[in-house]
Amino acid sequence: MKELIHNKVRVIDEFFTEFNQIQKLYVEKSFDFEHRFNLFLANLSDYFEKRGENSKESEILRIKSMLQTVKRGFNPSKMEKIDSGKRELLWGFSYNGIESLDLLLQEIYKKEVSKLEEGEEILSNLILNFYQQGVLTDEKLKDLDSIPKIEVFWSYLLSQNGSISLINKKLLTNLISEDIYLLLEKVIYKITIQ
């Protein structure tokens, strides 16, 4: 089942906020860093597990395993026993984990935001086209001031125009209907405030 992309972007944005705080703790060499980083990894792993994203969950578990290996006194890259400098090695591998997480979160965020941007561009062109053709007027656009009204309007368009159905099918490859309504609301708002 597809997820509301707007919600997924919001959740990843919240993870970024927490992740940035953890990176600050790392830079400050805070004693709270290790606890917060482990908690963050656990929350992120749970998120990916619940979504069924096994490869992303596996990456989080790899980072956790790497850090646990250092704590147990072994160098994860060489699998040799650590006699001294265990704390420094843990900080080094923590940095490695931070880099991996940053790449993972950036990739997810960019992918989801690009879906929204693509959908917004398609809908902007469509609405502006209808506006130029006189199908939509300033009054009608101003009347579309809520999601329920936008939903009814979109359903009406789908029933009246076969090419809109094709556009809708294209949009539904990446988005769900609720995302489309939210994007339409954004597009209509931008047009009406000009």
97 with 33, same domain: the answer is yes
Alpha-carbon distance of 184 to 18, in angstroms, equals 31
Domain termination residue (choose one: 98, 113, 128): 113
- Its pTM stands at 0.86
14 with 80, same domain: the answer is yes
81 with 145, same domain: the answer is no
Q: Is 148 exposed, middle or buried (0-12, 13-18, 19+ CB in 10 A)?
A: exposed
30 CB-near residues (< 8 Å, 6+ apart) = none
Q: Could you report the per-residue pLDDT of 15-50, keeping only the tens digit for each?
A: 999 999 999 999 999 999 999 999 999 999 999 999
Q: 81 - beta bridge partners?
A: 74
Both tokens of 30, joined, read: 């805070």
10 with 94, same domain: the answer is yes
Range of the domain at 159: 116-192
Q: Could you report the per-residue pLDDT of 91-149, keeping only the tens digit for each?
A: 999 999 999 999 999 999 999 999 999 999 999 999 999 989 888 888 999 999 999 99
102 with 121, same domain: the answer is no
12 with 103, same domain: the answer is yes
156 with 80, same domain: the answer is no
98 with 167, same domain: the answer is no
Number of domains in the chain: 2
156 with 90, same domain: the answer is no
90 with 175, same domain: the answer is no
